[in-house]
Amino acid sequence: MTKRFSVQQVVDALRVVLPAKAEQVPLHEPVFAGNEWLYVKECLDTGWVSSVGRYVDRFEQMLREYTGVKHAVAVVNGTAALHICLKLVDVQPGDEVLVPALTFVATANAVHYCGAVPHFVDSSLETLGLDPGKLEAYLREIVDVRPDGCWNKETGRRIKAVVPMHTFGHPVDLDALVDVCQRYRLELVEDAAESLGSYYKGRHTGNWGRVSALSFNGNKIVTTGGGGAILTNDESLGKLAKHLTTTAKVPHAWAFWHDQVGYNYRLPNINAALGCAQLENLPTFVERKRSLLHAYQAAFAGVEGVQIFREPSFAKSNYWLHTLLLDEEYADFRDELLEAANSAGIQARPAWTLMHRLPMYAQCPRMDLSVAEQLERRIVNIPSSANLEANHGEA
């Protein structure tokens, strides 16, 4: 029997899961159901609202305890966190940094802030993130590995680092990527902006990179309004991260002495207070999102031409954004589906425009990106808020 694809059938399946009376169902909205009001009010009552205060310290401690990473430095947003991560591993102007073409623009922008050049690499159908096997085969052809690093034979530039992004919360194959980094003398910097609450082989993301970056934007699983964090298991880098993000000011009771160019990137206490309350509920948020997966799977069980993306076998994902994957033969229906869903009050969106298609990055080096280009045509993100949990049990 020939498969048939119906946009209306997909929209109807979404309606089965989503609140029937809601005029608009957002793609992802924060849930404030804990101590947010209490903690933020304390900041207002005491006047401790800026970048010094007990909630900043507590937020960093909670991040360390939850992720198992030894050092956490809270900053103003995820892009700032990634920028400092690249500085910490000594990315220099003119270096190349390997980043997925399928990512949010901040990943490439952070490279550009360092004066470095994004070098775009392909994705995996299994993870939606960077493909270590395809990357290794590509590097084997284009680089020279020398005592002073990895050098691109085609451009003459040093390739300093690789930045995998855990797409929609799904971890990339980190063991395989670590092997590639060791073989080609590359620094590993995890863009874990979307993967707070996600685990690779039982260990939280952010533990494989020499440094890693988190985001707490308003649409993330945990939010501080804005906000981000730098994670590292390297004590010296943890101290340097805090120093650089505090304008490189040498501690003193009254004197203003800065020993290098620093950045005013520290997270305000009032934002950290919000984050502390959110982190208290993170396990519940993850459980609800994984329960929402079951509801979507049941609703789409009989829908032809589309599938709900599932975490790779080696991972436990936070399912930050639930993802529909259209069959390749029906990829041309993507925009019609987006129009129909949004017209029905169901916010849905495509994947990001691939980085090499953006005007400022069109001339950057890149490998064959056929999988990323395929995924760009096929991905539709659907409502994923933790308050949509439907009590269908644990995934």
pLDDT in tens, 305-349: 999 999 999 999 999 999 999 999 999 999 999 999 999 999 999
DSSP letter at 89 equals: T
Judged against a pLDDT cut of 70, whether residue 257 lies above it is answered with: yes
* pTM greater than 0.85: yes
Judged against a pLDDT cut of 70, whether residue 374 lies above it is answered with: yes
- Band (pLDDT 50/70/90 cuts) for residue 271 is very high
Pick the CATH number of 7-30+282-388 from 3.40.190.10, 3.90.1150.10, 1.10.490.10, 3.40.47.10: 3.90.1150.10
Q: What is the pLDDT of residues 190-245, one digit of tens each?
A: 999 999 999 999 999 999 999 999 999 999 999 999 999 999 999 999 999 999 99
Q: What is the pLDDT of residues 9-41, one digit of tens each?
A: 999 999 999 998 888 999 999 999 999 999 999
Give the mean pLDDT of 352-368.
Answer: 98
Neighbour tally for 313: CB within 10 Å: 6
Neighbour tally for 129: CB within 10 Å: 26
Domain boundaries defined on the chain = 7-30+282-388, 36-280
So what's the pLDDT on residue 389? Answer: 61
The CATH number of 36-280 is 3.40.640.10
Mean of all residue pLDDT scores within the chain: 96
Would you say 122 and 370 are in contact if contact means Cβ atoms under 8 Å apart? yes
* Through-space distance between the first and last CA atoms of the chain, rounded to whole angstroms: 32
Would you say 77 and 228 are in contact if contact means Cβ atoms under 8 Å apart? yes
So what's the pLDDT on residue 20? Answer: 84
Q: What is the pLDDT of residues 39-83, one digit of tens each?
A: 999 999 999 998 788 999 999 999 999 999 999 999 999 999 999
Question: From CA 166, how far away is CA 215, in angstroms rounded?
Answer: 12
Neighbour tally for 12: CB within 10 Å: 13
So what's the pLDDT on residue 380? Answer: 98
Per-residue H/E/C for 256-311: CCECCCCCECECCHHHHHHHHHHHHCHHHHHHHHHHHHHHHHHHCCCCCCEEECCC
So what's the pLDDT on residue 392? Answer: 39
Q: What is the pLDDT of residues 133-188, one digit of tens each?
A: 999 999 999 999 999 999 999 999 999 999 999 999 999 999 999 999 999 999 99
- Would you state the structure tokens that stand for residue 57, as one six-digit string? 């310290």
So what's the pLDDT on residue 52? Answer: 82
Sign of CA dihedral 121, 125, 127, 128: positive
So what's the pLDDT on residue 3? Answer: 58
Question: From CA 147, how far away is CA 380, in angstroms rounded?
Answer: 44
